[in-house]
């Protein structure tokens, strides 16, 4: 049997969270890059999806647009992100949950601002807020404002110095646990995907533990192909997905145009992965 492979990118951000392209511009870029199956997965919000569909539906050859969200959770004091794919964007349980996440974000953002002010960096809250506009505040907005205002050379450096776990501006996270986020995603008809598992700076032993406990918490899938990763990393993630009977997913985690990360870039689909979109519960919903 010959099955057609669609260029899939199932992790991306718009200005509805800490991305820098509007939903319209992001979908236009995805089309331009040849992406055929595309998920928008903003942090703790679905606010970009309606506009994205509107634009996509106006195209002569629309792409397959998947409704997604990236939920922040807490596991052993780490910030762990769980992507929900193919969720029903009209689901009220999910909407209520995300409204609560937004409140948590606002509280945390104010506290980040206070911590930075104590460290001598004034106006960061207001600056980040201005960049965020209507979007819920993210550390990404803080990093952008701080880089643009000379507090470090670029966003990764801001994280390294100020915003990463344990640094001056880091607020110990108070997100809910993985099981609750997975449960909400399921209630909204979606599948849960552990985001960028190798991005949490965990030792091999802790990463194994995370994936195992994620599976035990009800997780369906994990990202195994990322826009930027070594072959060793990819193989390790695929092995972990097999060991834990998790489906695989693929995504760039695109936030803004740069030399490093691009929509659809490096997202080849290796053999031997059971992809999340091939599962029966996905097929039933699409």
Smallest distance from ligand AMP to CB 128, Å: 10
Instruction: Kindly determine how many residues on this chain lie close enough to bind Mn ion according to the rule CB under 5 A.
Output: 6
| C-alpha angle 278-98-255 in degrees, rounded to nearest 5 | 65
Among 7, 27, 44, 81, binds Mn ion (CB under 5 A): 81
Task: Single out the residue of 253, 254, 267, 282 in contact with Mn ion (rule: CB under 5 A).
Answer: 253
Is residue 223 near Mn ion by the rule CB under 5 A? no
Is 143 a binder of ligand AMP (CB under 6 A)?
yes
Output the CA torsion sign for 246, 267, 282, 73.
positive
Q: Is 196:229 a contact under the CB 8 Å cutoff?
A: no
Asked if 172 is part of the footprint of ligand AMP (rule: CB under 6 A), the reply reads no
Which of 140, 190, 197, 227 forms a contact with Mn ion (CB under 5 A)? 140
Rounded CA-CA distance 36/46 in Å is 21
Measured from the CB atom, is 253 or 275 closer to ligand AMP? 253
Q: How far is the CB of 132 from ligand AMP (least distance, A)?
A: 10
220 binds, among Mn ion, ligand AMP, none (CB under 5 to 8 A by kind): none
Residue 155 contact, options ligand AMP, Mn ion, none, Cβ 5-8 Å cut-off depending on partner type: ligand AMP
Does 79 engage in binding with ligand AMP (CB under 6 A)?
A: yes
| 15, 56, 72, 241: residue in contact with ligand AMP (rule CB under 6 A) | 72
Distance CA 82, CA 43 (A): 10
Buried b (16+ CB within 10 A) or exposed e, 120-145: ebeebbebbbebbeebbbbbbbbbbb
Q: By CB under 6 A, is residue 156 in contact with ligand AMP?
A: yes
Q: Which is nearer to ligand AMP, 41 or 91 (CB)?
A: 41
Query: Distance (Å, rounded) from C-alpha 184 to C-alpha 102?
Result: 15
- Range list of H helices, the chain: 23-32, 49-57, 92-118, 124-132, 139-148, 155-158, 178-187, 204-216, 231-243, 280-285
Between 92-118 and 139-148, two packed helices, what is the crossing angle to 10 degrees?
40
Binding site for ligand AMP (CB under 6 A): 18, 43, 72, 79, 138-140, 143, 155-156, 159, 255
């Amino acid at each position: 049997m010959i099955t057609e492979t669609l260029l899939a990118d199932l992790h991306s951000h718009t200005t509805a969270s800490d991305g820098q392209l509007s939903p319209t511009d992001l979908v236009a870029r995805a089309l331009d890059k040849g992406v055929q199956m595309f998920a928008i997965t903003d942090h703790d919000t679905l606010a970009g999806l309606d506009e994205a569909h509107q634009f996509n539906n106006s195209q002569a050859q629309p792409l397959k647009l998947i409704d997604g969200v990236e939920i922040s959770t807490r596991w052993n004091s780490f910030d762990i992100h769980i992507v929900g794919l193919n969720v029903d964007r009209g689901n009220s349980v999910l909407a209520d949950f995300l409204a609560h996440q937004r409140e948590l974000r606002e509280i945390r953002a104010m506290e980040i601002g206070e911590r930075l002010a104590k460290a001598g960096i004034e106006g960061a809250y207001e600056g980040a807020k201005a960049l965020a506009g209507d979007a819920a505040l993210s550390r990404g907005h803080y990093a952008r404002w701080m880089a643009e205002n000379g507090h470090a050379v670029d966003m990764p450096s801001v994280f390294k110095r100020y915003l990463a776990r344990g640094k001056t501006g880091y607020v110990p996270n108070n997100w809910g646990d993985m099981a609750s986020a997975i449960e909400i995603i399921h209630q909204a008809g979606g599948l849960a995907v552990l985001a960028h598992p190798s991005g949490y700076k965990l030792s091999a032993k802790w990463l194994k533990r995370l994936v195992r406990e994620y599976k035990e918490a009800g997780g369906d899938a994990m990202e195994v192909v990322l826009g930027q990763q070594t072959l060793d990393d990819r193989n390790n993630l695929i092995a972990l997905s097999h060991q834990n009977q998790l489906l695989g997913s693929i995504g760039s985690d695109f936030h803004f145009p740069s030399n490093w990360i691009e929509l659809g870039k490096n997202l080849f689909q290796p053999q031997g992965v059971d992809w999340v979109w091939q599962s029966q519960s996905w097929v039933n919903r699409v």
